[in-house]
């Protein structure tokens, strides 16, 4: 079946569909990971985005039930050069195409993904539509222009769970951590479990008083999709908890913390999406290979440097990747320490969170 990917600037890419049929809208971004397509598709941070994989062959080790980061895929669509029809792995239980169809997710293959990536790098990430139903390029371009995009849109409400739940209970529990769920990845919860922390996951709209009633030792602000300025309720909750709990922010949680501390955020030209982004720890001088997925960034110059210490910088574009409050037990990173593509480069940050909670218990 034919499929078209149309961008709001008029650029159109033709290919063949795999997975479900239909029409989906989202901001088209490129991801430079060679593996991890299953984790990427199920990362709630990709809500509202159509993902183009730069590696040419995707799906070669199939799909298994263990490597998911949430209860379902959240991406709007997948763009690849070639989708593998016969995966080879002892863990594989189905093909990527079958998985997409099962979850009503659109895929398009046969696209010149190098050309698409270069175009996004030059023109920036933009609104797009992926369709197997409407194959008229002009109509699709207009539909892309009329779609909602990401700026100012609250996508967190579409991915957060609406109930409080406890993740698996660790043996010999050390600390109780409330995770504010803006679209939390399972691996964040797994890392807390490894560190003998009882994770209690609460919906993104949970207020500060309700969080304090749970009597946690610390608060983790999770990753999530979209524009951080659109989730004012999360920012306000965070602001009320500053100085009352140790806080660790990851990805969107880092941006929320930056806004709660009086900083500003801005939209990156084409974002950071992939498993090979070099980040420098300014304290140790070490460079870590990190996983990233974000289209917005905290403005370094907007922060009060009398209170906030810059801890990490992106070596590709010098954008902010980590910060720490000089007096309060608060720190955050823009990258994903739970993914650790190094492979364990950034896992130490969870141990840092444990130390902070123990110090301020």
**Which string of DSSP letters, residue by residue, matches 187-238?**
HHHHHHHHTTEEEEEEETT--HHHHHHT--SEEEEPP--S-GGG-HHHHHHH
- Taking 3-state DSSP, the helix, strand and coil percentages for the chain, each rounded to the nearest 5, stand at 25, 35, 40
Distance CA 338, CA 340 (A): 6
* Ramachandran angles phi, psi of 340, nearest 5°: 45, 70
Query: Pick the catalytic residue: 27, 39, 321, 338?
Result: 338
Distance CA 277, CA 341 (A): 9
Query: Pick the catalytic residue: 83, 182, 197, 251?
Result: 251
- With a CB cutoff of 8 Å and minimum separation 6, the contacts of 149 are 27, 127
Q: Which residues does residue 17 pair with via DSSP β-bridges, in sequence order?
A: 108
Annotation says 102 is catalytic: no
Annotation says 338 is catalytic: yes
Residue 183 CB: number of other CB atoms within 10 A? 27
Distance CA 316, CA 182 (A): 27
Query: Pick the catalytic residue: 175, 312, 325, 336?
Result: 336
Annotation says 309 is catalytic: no
Distance CA 89, CA 38 (A): 14
Residue 297 CB: number of other CB atoms within 10 A? 23
Residue 169 CB: number of other CB atoms within 10 A? 9
Beta strand 126-131 with 175-181: parallel, antiparallel or unpaired? unpaired
CB-hemisphere CA count at 13 Å for 58? 33
- With a CB cutoff of 8 Å and minimum separation 6, the contacts of 122 are none
The catalytic site residues sit at: 251, 336, 338
């Amino acid at each position: 079946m034919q499929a078209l990917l149309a961008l709001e600037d008029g650029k159109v890419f033709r290919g063949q569909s795999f997975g479900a049929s239909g029409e989906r809208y989202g901001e088209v971004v490129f991801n430079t990971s060679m593996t991890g397509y299953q984790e990427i598709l199920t990362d709630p941070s990709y809500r509202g985005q159509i993902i183009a994989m730069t590696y040419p062959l995707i799906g070669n080790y199939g799909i298994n039930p263990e490597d998911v980061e949430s209860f379902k895929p959240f991406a709007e669509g997948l763009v690849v050069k070639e989708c593998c029809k016969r995966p080879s792995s002892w863990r594989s239980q189905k093909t990527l195409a079958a998985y997409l169809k099962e979850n009503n997710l659109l895929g398009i293959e046969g696209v010149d993904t190098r050309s698409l990536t270069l175009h996004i790098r030059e023109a920036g990430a933009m609104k797009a539509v992926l369709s197997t139903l409407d194959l008229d390029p002009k109509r699709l371009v207009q539909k892309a222009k009329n779609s909602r995009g990401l700026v100012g849109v609250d996508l967190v409400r579409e991915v957060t769970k609406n109930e409080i739940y406890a993740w698996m209970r660790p043996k010999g529990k050390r600390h109780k951590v409330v995770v504010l769920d803006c679209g939390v990845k399972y691996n964040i919860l797994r890392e807390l479990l490894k560190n003998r922390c009882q994770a209690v996951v609460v919906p993104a709209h949970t207020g500060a008083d309700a969080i304090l009633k749970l009597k946690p030792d610390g608060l983790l602000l999770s990753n999530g999709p979209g524009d951080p300025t659109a989730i004012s309720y999360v920012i306000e909750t965070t602001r009320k908890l500053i100085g009352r709990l140790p806080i660790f922010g990851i990805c969107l949680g880092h941006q929320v913390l930056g806004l709660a501390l009086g900083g500003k955020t801005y939209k990156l030209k084409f974002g950071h999406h992939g498993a090979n982004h070099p980040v420098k720890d300014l304290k140790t001088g070490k460079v870590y290979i990190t996983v990233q997925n974000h289209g917005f960034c905290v403005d370094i110059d907007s922060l009060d440097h009398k209170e906030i210490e810059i801890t990490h910088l992106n070596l590709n574009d010098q954008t902010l990747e980590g910060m720490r409050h000089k007096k309060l037990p608060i720190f955050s990173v823009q990258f994903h320490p739970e993914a650790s593509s190094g492979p364990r480069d950034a896992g130490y940050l969870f141990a840092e969170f444990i130390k902070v909670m123990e110090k301020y218990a």
